A and B are shown apart, each in its own frame.
Chain A
Amino acid sequence: MSTKGKVHLPTGQEALEKKGWYGAHKYLVLRRLSQAFFLFLFLMGPWFGIWWVKGNLAGSETFGILPLNDPLILGQMMASGHWPESTALIGGLIVLVVYALIGGRVYCSWVCPINPITDSAHWLHDKLGIQKGWQPKRATRYWLLGAVFIVSALTGTIAWEVVNPVTMVHRGLVFGMGWVWGMVLTIFLFDLLVARRGWCGHVCPVGAFYSLVGVKSLLRVSAVRRDACDDCMDCYAVCPENQVISPALKGKGGATPLILSPDCTNCGRCIDVCAMDVFAFTHRFDSNVEASPDTGAAIVPSEKTAA
């Protein structure tokens, strides 16, 4: 579908006018609230003495009974030759199952404390109009994930935890920062000046791991009203992993409108930013494509692309 001779508006402008500020930022707001909520759970103890949740993202205990453990760390532990006790195994299994259902990278966009840092770096990157810089392949993180397991096995240590900014920043906030601010700044500058969307989009092996966890996840974004797409490209502009959009949005023929790539973080920004309300959260078995209200009739995608 053509852009109908429209002038090019700033990203999200159209959605803003059509849906209002909250409508155009709903999932962004919810996501920030979620990030703050999960951080706050851990801070309630040290700040107010309410110890509902103890520990950090590497391992925690909620209400004195519920263990939660990072399965990536447990994986490295096993590679390095230590078999964890059942508490950690149960905790790791719970986390695995939850993210396998809701999408592994929901961890990245709704929980991880690094996300606000890289998101703000990207925001400034956009504002300043900086070149995208070094763009290593998206697959780099999977290679790095493999390297992390190999190094763990060879050195007999949980290797990634020596440098992992995710757990370091979280632990810093909950237990004491030390020089962690330096790490925060490094990641920010890396994403701002060295590589656009560099850390979360190309490098971080934690994200790669959770991608693999969520390969078959139930919760998915679907380009359910893709017939209404007016090619404004705003979703591509806001999506942190925009290679995942095309197969669903521009899928030819009977191609599923579901974004099935495990790289999708289920952040919901595409839903926010689309003035035509093309995207929606659904489950992976709902490959339904809704007819566009503009075209007035249910058009089979194959017919439409042929036209």
Chain B
Amino acid sequence: MSAANKKRVDRRRFLTDSARMAAGCAVAGSLLAYVTRDARALPQQAIRPPGALAEDDFLAACIRCGLCVRDCPYDTLVLADLGQDGPATGTPFFTARDVPCEMCDDIPCVAACPTGALDKDLTDIEDARMGTAVLVDQENCLNFLGLRCDVCYRVCPMIDEAIALELRHNERSGHHAIFAPTVFAEACTGCGICEKKCVLPEPAIKVLPVRLARGEPADHYRKGWEEKDAKGAPVVEGIIDLPDRLPGPGTDNLAAPGGFEPGLGAVDGSAGGFQPTFTLPGGTGQ
């Protein structure tokens, strides 16, 4: 083989080899990319540690070293096992119903993270937003059935801020109250203690990822009443405040909507009062 010939063959071989290698890597790389995309589907019951970046950023930052797991004093956090747990293999998470986050003041898991996957800007655990508790099943919640279970409310580390009991009428019994456990997402850290302590075999209150638990208002939405308070005057100039229509018969009586007439004497004779503009069937009114 002449030198020139050999050179040409060498060049051809080099080009073929490179092309084959590039093609092989493109296939392997595509498979890898597919697997990484697949790994992003975080199951709903898997909650990331406090301060965790948003899931996409988290997978760019978490090296799966498990130092947060080691420094968690309550053994809340675990690393996802290959093929058994839902989150990306080796990443830290917790299942509220197993062991919830106890909301340590010094947030040792965040302090342990070497890469910033758990954000060091989180210095007050009450600012953590691991998820949001949602009372998912009013039909089985004991409080909604009219009992005074109150457990989720009592155990909430942010009692009366993240979970409050709201009174409402018990339509079933007709003369009792329902103490409805109500979550205020603004204050809920997603620690999961309510879900852990719910007395039902399957909890009626669950911590969900924020993206599932909450809606998001459009950027341009304004609440008129807040704007009015801020401005101290109606937002739109020169608006005419029409009388409100109230429920009940006779509401088309604009002089005394709903039957209320300030000028009328009350039943006990004091100023202002209620005089129905209608008559009850078979009676003479009130």
Contact = CB atoms under 8 A, between A and B. Distances in A.
A and B bind: yes
Interface of A: 45, 51, 54-56, 58-61, 67, 69-70, 73-74, 77, 80-85, 87-88, 91, 136-137, 139-140, 143-144, 146-148, 150-151, 154-163, 167-168, 171-172, 174-180, 182-183
Interface of B: 17, 21-22, 24-26, 28-29, 32-33, 35-37, 39-40, 56-57, 59-67, 69-71, 78-79, 81-85, 88-90, 112-117, 120
Given A157-B60, A162-B88, A85 B65 contact: no
B116 A84 contact: yes
Nearest to B119: A85
A162 B89 CA distance: 7
A176 B60 contact: no
A165 to B, nearest CB: 10
Contacts, number: 160
Given A174-B66, A175-B66, A179-B83, 16 more contacts: A54-B66, A59-B63, A60-B67, A82-B57, A84-B61, A85-B113, A88-B116, A146-B25, A151-B36, A156-B56, A156-B60, A157-B36, A158-B60, A158-B62, A162-B35, A176-B78
A122 to B, nearest CB: 23
Given A137-B21, A151-B32, A85 B116 contact: yes
Given A146-B25, A147-B32, A67 B114 contact: yes
Nearest to A183: B82
B60 A60 contact: no
Contacts of A140: 21, 24
B79 A171 contact: yes
Given A137-B21, A175-B79, A168 B90 contact: yes
A74 B36 CA distance: 17
B28 A147 contact: yes
Given A55-B66, A161-B90, A171-B90, A179 B84 contact: yes
Given A84-B114, A157-B39, A168 B24 contact: no
Given A82-B116, A175-B66, A163 B35 contact: yes
A155 B37 contact: yes
A277 B88 CA distance: 49
